[in-house]
Structure 1
């Protein structure tokens, strides 16, 4: 899968939820995990993180929204039940994203919502557990950006394998391709494409 993603939570108070969310992030291949405004007991992986995710991905603990230091071009995606949030099934996930979920008995802060590039919601009748919500969002990202065979019209699995990925030649801003790039021709003497 192309790109990268991170998962985090603001204002969590229950260690078991943190551990379950970290485990899901690790299972789906997150690049890092983070907390914002978490208590001291929440800043380390609890026993519910049975995959020991901090041994495999960095864990950042920021005190405030202003202290968050995300990578360049990483889009912050808030998961919150707001009137203007995009329904998750209609959302196109950014290639470089950090997903942030709110506390168990509250919402993302106004400062966090203001910092978000996108706000999405899971279309449920009422709020669900924060760790469950995180797993649903990560599954949706995996399904949307992963390479899977199309679902069949009838029930059941696909009848064939997914098509092999075809690599194309370099495309320049002008929209033209360099002829003979696959043979090493059509380029400068250094082998680099000529603009």
Structure 2
């Protein structure tokens, strides 16, 4: 998949949800995981994370949105069911992104929403579990930035398979030649 991404949550309070989020982030190839203002009782009891993602993903814990620090060029994408959020199926995922989801029984704080470069929503009638929401968003990112054949407009497999990339010969834009190569 092209680019990189991170997954995080604000105000997380349930151990099983932390484990599910970390496992989902790990499964989809996240570069790191983060939390903001998480319940300190979460500890290391990640019962839902059978992939042992802390061994594979760096984990950053910040106490407030102001403390968050992301790599240059990384866009913060809030996932929240608000009227003005972009519908997920219409969203163009940034190559460098950090996705932040709200708490189990609440919404992203106004401070967090103000920090977000984009707000997206899963077009459902009501909020879904945080782990399910993360899985849906990351699957959509995978579809956008993964290397797959175009989806068929009719039922079934794609009509045209994805073409393999073909590497061509070097293109020389001057008379300069690479040492050790022969001139034609």
**Alignment TM-score > 0.5, same fold:** yes
CA shift in 2, pair 1:53/1:188, >3 Å: farther
Contact 1:77–1:100, Cα closer than 8 Å, also in 2: yes
- In 2, the alpha carbon distance for the partners of 1:79 and 1:111 equals 14
For residue 42 of structure 1, report the CA deviation from its aligned partner: 2.5
Aligned pair count reads 178
Structural mapping, 1:23-172, within 5 Å: 23-42=23-42, 44=44, 46-165=46-165
TM-score normalised according to structure 1 size: 0.85
For residue 72 of structure 1, report the CA deviation from its aligned partner: 0.8
**Structure 2: runs of 5 or more not aligned:** 179-184
**Structure 1: runs of 5 or more not aligned:** 169-181
TM-score normalised according to structure 2 size: 0.90
For residue 82 of structure 1, report the CA deviation from its aligned partner: 1.2
Contact 1:43–1:61, Cα closer than 8 Å, also in 2: no
Higher RCO structure, 1 or 2 (CA under 8 Å, sep 6+): 2
Which residue does 2:21 correspond to in 1? 21
- In 2, the alpha carbon distance for the partners of 1:88 and 1:167 equals 34
1:25-79 Cα distance to aligned partner (Å, 9 max, x none): 0000000000000122225361111101010010101111111111111000000
